[in-house]
């Protein structure tokens, strides 16, 4: 995409899709998988460069028929490549986990243009609404950069308003990092480190309120949780539901009157929450 803040295209070259059959054969050899994670520089662009073009949906369907794959999770899908076909696949494919990671990076139209991003804040909100309305319970995650050169107070306020309206399930935030030989390095009006830090804290504060509202709505509901370990501090087991990607999202801590086998799924009723983690009881 040649985002103006990123060196990856100049380091790694043009986008290259791995042959679908190579992926299928690799996955067949991985054993039983509760969760197969598909990730790329832009996962949603998969297959467009192949001699016989494929789509990400084509690849998902090829992987979904494999008996050793129980679920498929999508990370890092650029918004402009999320098609209606992909959105429909979430509703018709039981193996496609209702979770998607979309790196919006910002929501102010002028900053997005300076970043060489193709979308607009309004368009991103429309995409989020389409996903939520067509895919019941989908969890949307994203990442954002603050302190990009030229990010005025108004541009930052536009980003904050976007977060309040988008109500993303999870979000990560980063301060703009100046990299030599990138186009953004040559832009005027670089933001000071102190302002970047202040804005980063504000972003987390706003998203924390969104997450609190979401977590409140989950109390009393029951989810299938894949057990992953035992926490000696709380004396509870912990694991993940469909809306928790490994390593980047929160966990679900739960009490169980019986021994739990890691890697197995259990029905857990949510009873409480902290900032980003949930607590519950095994039914």
Residue 1 confidence (pLDDT)? 80
Inter-residue contact 231 to 204 (CB < 8 Å): no
What DSSP assignment string belongs to 207-247? HHHHHHHHHHHHTT-EEEEEEEEEETTTTEEEEE-TT--TT
Question: Using CA atoms, how far apart are residues 134 and 73, in angstroms rounded to an integer?
Answer: 18
Residue 134 confidence (pLDDT)? 98
The tokens describing 2, both together, are 């040649």
Residue 10 confidence (pLDDT)? 84
Entry pTM: 0.95
Q: What is the mean pLDDT of each run of 10 residues along the chain (283 residues)?
A: 87 92 98 97 95 96 98 97 98 98 98 96 98 98 98 98 98 95 94 98 98 97 98 96 96 96 97 96 97
Residue 208 confidence (pLDDT)? 97
Residue 125 confidence (pLDDT)? 98
């Amino acid at each position: 995409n040649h985002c103006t803040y990123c060196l990856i295209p100049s380091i790694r070259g043009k986008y290259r899709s791995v042959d679908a059959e190579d992926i299928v054969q690799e996955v067949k050899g991985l054993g039983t998988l509760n969760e197969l994670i598909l990730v790329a520089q832009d996962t949603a662009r998969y297959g467009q460069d192949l001699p016989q073009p494929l789509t990400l949906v084509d690849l998902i369907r090829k992987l979904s028929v494999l008996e050793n794959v129980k679920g498929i999770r999508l990370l890092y899908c650029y918004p402009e490549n999320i098609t209606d076909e992909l959105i429909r696949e979430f509703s018709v494919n039981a193996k496609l986990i209702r979770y998607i990671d979309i790196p919006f990076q910002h929501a102010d139209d002028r900053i997005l243009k300076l970043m060489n991003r193709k979308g607009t804040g309004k368009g991103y909100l429309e995409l989020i609404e389409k996903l939520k309305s067509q895919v019941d319970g989908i969890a949307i995650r994203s990442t954002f950069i603050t302190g990009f050169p030229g990010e005025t107070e108004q541009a930052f306020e536009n980003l904050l308003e976007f977060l309040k309206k988008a109500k993303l399930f999870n979000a990560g935030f980063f301060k703009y990092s100046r990299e030599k030989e990138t186009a953004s390095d040559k832009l005027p009006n670089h933001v000071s480190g102190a302002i970047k830090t202040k804005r980063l804290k504000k972003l987390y504060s706003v998203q924390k309120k969104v997450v609190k509202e979401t977590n409140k709505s989950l109390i009393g509901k029951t989810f299938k949780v894949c057990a992953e370990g035992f926490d000696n501090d709380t004396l509870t087991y912990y694991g993940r539901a469909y809306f928790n990607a490994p390593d980047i999202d929160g966990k679900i801590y739960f009490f169980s009157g019986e021994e739990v086998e890691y890697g197995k799924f259990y029905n857990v009723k949510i009873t409480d929450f902290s900032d980003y983690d949930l607590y519950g009881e095994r039914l």
